[in-house]
Chain A
Amino acid sequence: MLHTVNKSPLQTRDLDSCLEHLAGERLLLIEDGVYAAVAAGEASAKLRGPAAEGRVYALGPDLEARGIGHDALADGVEVVDYAGFVQLVAEHGPHQAWL
C-alpha cells in the first residue's frame, strides 16, 4: 500500500495518524507534507524507522517549490518526480491519501 501526506507536520496531526497506521507500508510526502522530511526539523525524527527501511519518499517538485535542497533531507528519504509517483502507485497501490 502507498500512503500520501500533504499537510505540514506542525500544522495538523495527519502525518502522526498516517504513521500510526503505516505498519510496513510505504509513505510518499507531497505538498506541505514534504516539510516533515527536513533533517533539521523536529518532525523528521518520526520518519526515522520507515526511512531507514527505504519506505519514505518525497516529491521533488514540492521540495523545489519550498526551497528544500535534497542535501537537507533526513537520511533514507528518497526523492521521486511525478513519474516516480505514478510508478509507486502502480507498484504499491492501493493508494490512501491522508488529507
Chain B
Amino acid sequence: MSDEANWEDAGAVKRFMFVNRKAPHGTIYALEALEVVLISAAFDQDVSLAFLDDGVHQLRQGQDAKALGMKNFAPTFRALDDYDIDKLYVEAESLAQRGLSAEELIVPVQVVDRERMSALMAEQDVVMSF
C-alpha cells in the first residue's frame, strides 16, 4: 500500500527516451530495445525513441529477415502508434551518411538535426541506450 502511495506521490509522468544506435540484424540490441519500448507503453509514461548512427537502419523499408531465418521485427515499429508512442526522432546527419531519406523509412518520423537531438536527450528524465 505504501509503495502505491509513493508511486502516486511520485505522480508526475517521467520522460523516457530510448536511444537506438545499432543496425537491426547483426546484433540483438535493436530487437531487445523494441521489446522494452513495448513494455514501457504499459506504464503511461512520456516515451520517445531516438534513432542515430547505425540505428537509422532499423527503420528502412523492405526488410525481410526471413532470409536469415530470423524474426522480421521491423513491421512492429508501425504498431507503436497504437500504444500512443508517436515520438520517433531520427537524426538527419545519420541518415545522410548512410544515403537514406525519411521517405525510405517504414514509419513517419520527425527528422531532427544533431543539435536538436542532443537537446532532446538533455530534456529527458531517463535515457536508455541500445
Contact = CB atoms under 8 A, between A and B. Distances in A.
A6 B68 CA distance: 14
Contacts, number: 67
A8 B67 contact: no
Given A8-B23, A35-B23, A65 B98 contact: no
Interface residues of A, number: 23
Nearest to A60: B67
A61 interface: yes
Interface in B14-48: 22-26
Contacts of B54: 8, 10-11, 32, 35
A74 B54 CA distance: 19
Contacts of B64: 64-65, 67
Nearest to B60: A67
Contacts of A67: 60-64, 74
Interface stretch (A20-28, A37-45, A86-94): A37-45
Interface of A: 6-8, 10-11, 31-32, 35, 38-42, 44, 60-62, 64-69
Interface of B: 22-26, 53-54, 57, 60-68, 70, 74, 97-100
